[in-house]
Structure 1
Amino acid sequence: MHAPLGTLGRALTLSLCLGVIFASPALAQKRGRMAPQLEAVNEAVRKHVEADDVAGVVTLVLEDGKIVHLSAVGKANREADKPLRPGAMFAIASMTKPITATAFMTLVEEGKVSLDDPVSKYIPEFADAKLDGKKLDKPITIRECLTHTAGLGGSQRVVESLETTGKQLAERPLRYEPGTKWEYSPGLNVVGRVIEVVSGKPYGEFLQERIFDPLKMNNTTFKPNEKQQARVATLYAKDKESGKLTAAESWIGNFDSDSYPNPSAGLYSNARDLAKFYKMMLNGGYLGDAKILSRESVDELTKLQTGEIVTGFTPGNGWGLGYCVVQEPQNVTAALSPGSFGHGGAFGTQSWADPVKKRAYILLVQRSNFPNSDASDLRKDFQNAAAEALDASSSK
């Protein structure tokens, strides 16, 4: 039986209206179907793709708890002509460190461990740590491991397990008197082992329980499953002879050769998941119904812990607990306010939260052999373009 012409007409009209709504990017954005984009950011990062600096870039900007920009430019895999998508996953390398420090802080809040406890309380081998062949007058503390001032040096790779790695790190000769200098180190691997000893759980399982599950970070993992692996962007490096980008390999994030979760460098994630984490930090430890930390603990993690000690990786920085802290914004950090905190990764990834302007900047790329990814022009151009666009909008 056919409907009357009037009913059909009304149905067709309704269908056409719905089609217009969902075909219109502007209207669709308002309904949450598409993330908004800042064209100035796309232009800034596109230049680096066209210049063959990187194969592809995902950028996300958070302001006042809302995603105000999310975009993907370039390719996830050039050889397969695979476009990069906003939901692509990346090996975030050392951006793992702040997440490890935050998980550790949950145990401090519970009174199960202290920041100034000797590491040897949990890894007994550290009682024999030596500098120039002599035992230390004062024991290495967990706080020093979190701030890269413990005197540790060498590879940040996990060997077999964190238990084995912790023992091996204790046997390495110290590079300087703990607490007197800053040198990027495997200190967060020590903290990861302390997490295991204090909690009685494997490090990876603890992070899943304390961070990823409550924040619904469903695409953050030490070992992507089969579906997630299909979304992982390919790692590229500049060929030394030709100067062209070529597919590369690294132990960082390699879950085949380095299967044990690495607290310093092991995570894979995507832009939206990282935005959840930094939104929680900007909120003072909360995200929705999930309470990860108190505001006091967030403040402790992200305040200057290193005093007058000169730290890396760009001028004007100090160090918190697992986080780099911007003290005097300049050059690549010029778009950030004093007190901004975050971390970079070996493959050019960056995540920075600005508590003054209530913003977070997420930059995801897979490019090896950046001379200093924290000081990259890509990072500077992205942050500057985003900040200028948002500042101009807010001043209207």
Structure 2
Amino acid sequence: MGKPISIGNKQQINIILKKIIFIFFFFTSISNVYSQFEKIETFQKNLIEDEITASNVALVFKDSEILYHHIENSKNPNAKAIDNNTIFPIWSMSKPITIVAMLILHEKGLINFEDKVSKYIPEFENLKCKGDDGIYKCKKDLTLFHLMTHRSGYKYYGNPELFTSTLKYGNLKDFASDVANHPVEFEPGSKYEYGINMAILGRVAEVVSNKNFYEFLKFEIFDPLEMNETKFHLTESDRENFQALYINNETIKGFTNELDELTYDINNKAYFGGEGLVSTLNDYSSFCQMLLNGGTFKEQKIISQESIDMMTKPYSKDDDNGFEIGFSFFVLTDPDRDGTNSPKGIFGWAGYHNTHFWIDSENDLYGIFMTRARDFSFEISKDFRRAVYSSLKSEK
């Protein structure tokens, strides 16, 4: 007959059993989480395996917490691994930041969107238009609203007319002066043409605020949102964290640090609000959180919900894909046409080197995807959203 178990031994056994039960439920929970978001991770892996991007990172935030955050690093020996300090050029994801800056000025009563641009930059007084019979003086005045909605008639220009170049310009004053002397493609306001509008708005902000555009953004947006790595320049130490470009098109394939296109020189003050910023996942996450929270971040109000409603109101139709365009944001108006299970009303934007984000107020959610790869593809955003909403559906 065995010895009776002492009280001390019973307590030890209970402790061991509790630990076993905890470990079991912990790993079961981890397994369930992995299973739920496996489609998102597979999406990230497929981008690398299909040689669309190299290393990439995705984040999904829902109901006041990070639901998913995963870095998928390429196994290519020439690829650069991503970590929490990685800096990305965000290109056109600079535009929503500039839009928020203009809404701040609007809420302060310092600008009206119906104002003529020439009120702030006199060179735009004699704006010229392109017509069937040649160049003529525009019949309509260019307004801030036209710039906000990409209905100005300005587009993006290649060489030798490339305007958003930090090799060509050292400040926004000279840039805006040259742009004002360039004819627009059509009468302002008559149709949508994606272009250099936000860079012009940056100069307007400088004139109104008496600060250079970076100083204005830092004071009004970056510092309150704790976006300490979001800027128009790179220091030497920043360069160590700057993601290399993976390029795969008909003529070039591989990794390079030679195709920045912008100098990111700390002494250059041509702060292009449509394409010039660099940022990190954490920084841009704060910006998204502010938008999701109705313009507030950690009890600091940046803009009002009314301003967010204004900037996400559709002003122009996009291609036949279910989206319309607000103040430099896409707005989903036809979810069936989009085909990703994304709900009506989500809004967001993307950048030239395949950074993508969207805000979903209905589900209290935002998603961010960052990599540095060309050529640009809207399919990345669609596949990401499809994976996210499919994962959320499986949760229910």
* TM-score class, shorter: 0.7 to 0.9
CA–CA separation in structure 1 for the residues paired with 2:260 and 2:207 = 26
Shift of 1:56: 1.2
Structure 1 residues 250-293: Cα deviation after superposition (integer angstroms, max 9, x where no partner): 35453149933221101111222212111111111101121101
SS of corresponding position for 1:83: coil
CA–CA separation in structure 1 for the residues paired with 2:258 and 2:102 = 30
Change in 2 beyond 3 A, CA 1:333/1:214: farther
CA–CA separation in structure 1 for the residues paired with 2:351 and 2:264 = 17
Contact persistence 2:234–2:266 (CA under 8 A)? no
Contact persistence 2:105–2:111 (CA under 8 A)? yes
Q: Which runs of 5+ in 2 are unaligned?
A: 1-11
Tell me if 1:382 matches 2:384: yes
Change in 2 beyond 3 A, CA 1:115/1:237: same
CA–CA separation in structure 1 for the residues paired with 2:180 and 2:299 = 40
Contact persistence 1:217–1:273 (CA under 8 A)? yes
Structure 1 residues 48-85: Cα deviation after superposition (integer angstroms, max 9, x where no partner): 1012221111101111232111111124x955554222
Shift of 1:239: 4.9
Shift of 1:139: 0.8
Change in 2 beyond 3 A, CA 1:194/1:362: same
CA–CA separation in structure 1 for the residues paired with 2:99 and 2:343 = 22
SS of corresponding position for 1:189: helix
CA–CA separation in structure 1 for the residues paired with 2:147 and 2:385 = 30
CA–CA separation in structure 2 for the residues paired with 1:85 and 1:339 = 32
Change in 2 beyond 3 A, CA 1:366/1:36: farther
SS of corresponding position for 1:48: helix
Contact persistence 1:239–1:245 (CA under 8 A)? no
Superposed, which structure 2 residues align to 1:159-170 within 5 Å? 159-170=169-180
Alignment counterpart, residue 254 of structure 1, candidates 235, 240, 263: 263
Change in 2 beyond 3 A, CA 1:391/1:272: farther
Tell me if 1:91 matches 2:89: yes
Residue correspondences, number: 364
Alignment counterpart, residue 116 of structure 1, candidates 114, 119, 123: 114
Q: Quick one: percent identity of the two aligned structures?
A: 31
CA–CA separation in structure 2 for the residues paired with 1:331 and 1:73 = 30
Superposed, which structure 2 residues align to 1:16-165 within 5 Å? 38-75=37-74, 78-80=76-78, 82-132=80-130, 133-153=135-155, 154=157, 155=162, 157-158=164-165, 159-165=169-175
Paired letter, 1:262 = F
Counterpart in the other structure of 1:351: 357
Shift of 1:248: 5.8
Alignment counterpart, residue 311 of structure 1, candidates 312, 318, 323: 318
Structure 1 residues 202-257: Cα deviation after superposition (integer angstroms, max 9, x where no partner): 0011111111100111222222334432222111111525x743426435453149
Alignment counterpart, residue 332 of structure 2, candidates 294, 309, 326: 326
Contact persistence 1:129–1:173 (CA under 8 A)? yes
Contact persistence 1:163–1:193 (CA under 8 A)? yes
CA–CA separation in structure 1 for the residues paired with 2:258 and 2:338 = 28
CA–CA separation in structure 1 for the residues paired with 2:39 and 2:375 = 27
CA–CA separation in structure 1 for the residues paired with 2:229 and 2:44 = 24
Tell me if 1:341 matches 2:347: yes
SS of corresponding position for 1:230: helix
Shift of 1:305: 2.3
Counterpart in the other structure of 1:209: 219
Shift of 1:319: 1.5
CA–CA separation in structure 2 for the residues paired with 1:80 and 1:333 = 36
Shift of 1:116: 0.9
Paired letter, 1:70 = H
Shift of 1:369: 2.4
Shift of 1:91: 0.6
Moved more, 319-328 or 91-100: 319-328
Shift of 1:125: 0.6
Superposed, which structure 2 residues align to 1:249-288 within 5 Å? 249-256=258-265, 259=268, 260-288=270-298
Shift of 1:330: 4.8
SS of corresponding position for 1:277: helix
Contact persistence 2:295–2:303 (CA under 8 A)? yes
Change in 2 beyond 3 A, CA 1:333/1:369: same
Counterpart in the other structure of 2:254: 245
SS of corresponding position for 2:241: coil
Contact persistence 2:243–2:372 (CA under 8 A)? yes
Change in 2 beyond 3 A, CA 1:25/1:124: farther
Contact persistence 1:53–1:245 (CA under 8 A)? no
Contact persistence 2:232–2:266 (CA under 8 A)? no
Counterpart in the other structure of 1:235: 245
Change in 2 beyond 3 A, CA 1:57/1:333: farther
Tell me if 1:192 matches 2:202: yes
Paired letter, 1:387 = Y
The RMSD of aligned alpha carbons is: 3.0
Contact persistence 2:322–2:337 (CA under 8 A)? no
Structure 1 residues 83-142: Cα deviation after superposition (integer angstroms, max 9, x where no partner): 222442211110000101101110100001111100000010111101133222221110
Alignment counterpart, residue 366 of structure 2, candidates 350, 360, 367: 360
CA–CA separation in structure 2 for the residues paired with 1:37 and 1:261 = 42
Paired letter, 1:117 = D
Paired letter, 1:131 = C
